[in-house]
Structure 1
């Protein structure tokens, strides 16, 4: 498994110039400014893997190519200054889809974004792990490295389903055993649960490097509804019936104000945050979040 079902080919090609980075650097360099997987003295050989577009030609084992007529890359292991985690919200609201892109939900976008982060960490030679939080409680894939670990994380992504509500805080205690100080944590969710926002603040206060992508629909951005409409909260079951055109202006004003307040709150906690819309290519919000200098501006 290499995850092509999660990452479209065009997006995969554009990932080549993205790097994971953060404010808490090691040795005076930002995250993603290191080369953890390379050949040289003092490095222990780990394994071969098939050549992938974007790999450096100097990593290709040309002797093995002469024998097999196939391109393989030598990988070596060394200590890495970065451990990246992806925390995915799997509560019921993550099943929300969008008429602008039928059949594509918040959770689908979260899967794609998570796969992109795993790919970036893999190319940088860094460790990465996955945490999913929702109605099923907490599901963890401990941090590891290499293609096989990437495939393990992708397999876990395949099995994620949206349902239920954000669990009790006690359910999340194992997170604190895994997420060490200085680890990079990207939280993917709609940020509608106060408990999820509070968790991000606590992680940041405990010296974790927290990033956030708020996953929202184009309908929430544009409110294109016509006539009478029934709106239902997937987690509480509460319903609201009203005339959509009459409610549009007030909804957009209140929703915009809520988003600005959320991002200001996260910024006050030292958390970089961006919005990922369901109708845009998945690498665009990552580019906004990981743009050079974004860490210093936060």
Structure 2
């Protein structure tokens, strides 16, 4: 069953307009979508002089240099070219987890809205964006493109996307290595509970891709507000644990904090910028962490 169409609340959209998607290489310098390419042309960033050739535009001649040398030279610049943004969204069964206080809003619902915010930022800056849904042991892949039509396609695809199955294995993930380019930006939206997902982004980072990771968490994982007897069930394996919530709280919170710290150390070692997002937080919080004023790479 398709969910309601994705829409960005007006107050979130207003805050997005103050952000600039940026990579580690140009933090504090220029917005993402303003990366200089290796092509020479008539862009903004000066690259070099070359001798005038018939057909060159007179406005590109450096007249001051002509006055000194009595020769015609034109200024070449590096063309500012858009970069491809890839949104990798975990759609395995565990992403269907929600809080009891809001059972109709799952991790995956939040990840889809965050993905739409990322797409809007890319579209505003003239960058291409695409996405890969990772679930049901398969890939759903949309090649990076620009424009409003691509936003519409994302909304349509994600409206049909439901959590299920386990995270795809290496054989299913193989097409990604041919699709994601060396200078592309990758944003991974996942609960980060599956080793295959972490291995995927580690491999991408090792291959030189810029990777950002957002761990999607429920408020109950953060707070563990359970009292009385409960059956806790793993949504992917089906394994269950019966226990008293109050008695389990201290142990769970300690172990969960240790697991998150270990994940953070692992991502830091791989050079992957990361943050956690909890379902009761503003959806643009991860983007403020990565791209807001004062953001910095770890």
Maintained 8 Å contact 1:213/1:273: yes
C-alpha deviation, 1:147, in angstroms: 0.9
Q: Distance in 2 between matches of 1:81 and 1:129?
A: 13
Q: Distance in 2 between matches of 1:184 and 1:30?
A: 15
C-alpha deviation, 1:264, in angstroms: 1.1
Q: Distance in 1 between matches of 2:96 and 2:170?
A: 22
C-alpha deviation, 1:101, in angstroms: 2.8
* Rg comparison, structure with higher value: 2
C-alpha deviation, 1:12, in angstroms: 1.2
Query: How is 1:134-283 mapped onto 2 (pairs within 5 angstroms)?
Result: 134-283=135-284
TM-score by length of 1: 0.80
Q: Distance in 1 between matches of 2:209 and 2:257?
A: 28
2:84 alignment partner in structure 1: 83
Change in Cα spacing, 1:29 to 1:174, as seen in structure 2 (3 Å) is farther
Q: Distance in 1 between matches of 2:269 and 2:31?
A: 22
Change in Cα spacing, 1:154 to 1:4, as seen in structure 2 (3 Å) is closer
C-alpha deviation, 1:25, in angstroms: 4.6
CA RMSD of aligned residues (A): 2.3
Q: Distance in 2 between matches of 1:134 and 1:215?
A: 15
Q: Provide, for residues 39-95 of structure 1, a one-character-per-residue CA deviation record: whole Å limited to 9, x for no partner.
A: xx979xxxxxxxxxxxxxxxxxxxxxxxxxxxxxxxxxx862421110000000000
Q: Distance in 2 between matches of 1:231 and 1:4?
A: 31
Q: Distance in 2 between matches of 1:177 and 1:35?
A: 22
Q: Distance in 2 between matches of 1:269 and 1:293?
A: 22
Maintained 8 Å contact 1:24/1:209: no
Maintained 8 Å contact 1:101/1:279: no
Maintained 8 Å contact 2:35/2:83: no
Aligned residues: 256
Q: Does 1:130 align with 2:119?
A: no
Maintained 8 Å contact 1:127/1:145: yes
User: Once structures 1 and 2 are overlaid, which stretch shifts more, 231-240 or 161-170?
Assistant: 161-170
3-state secondary structure, aligned to 1:18: coil
1:52 alignment partner in structure 2: none
Maintained 8 Å contact 2:201/2:211: yes
2:32 alignment partner in structure 1: 32
Maintained 8 Å contact 2:33/2:122: no
Maintained 8 Å contact 1:35/1:125: no
Change in Cα spacing, 1:135 to 1:33, as seen in structure 2 (3 Å) is closer
TM-score by length of 2: 0.80
1:112 alignment partner in structure 2: 113
C-alpha deviation, 1:185, in angstroms: 0.3
Q: Distance in 1 between matches of 2:294 and 2:181?
A: 24
| Greater strand proportion | 2
Q: Provide, for residues 258-282 of structure 1, a one-character-per-residue CA deviation record: whole Å limited to 9, x for no partner.
A: 0011011101100001001001110
Structure 1 unaligned blocks of 5 or more: 44-77
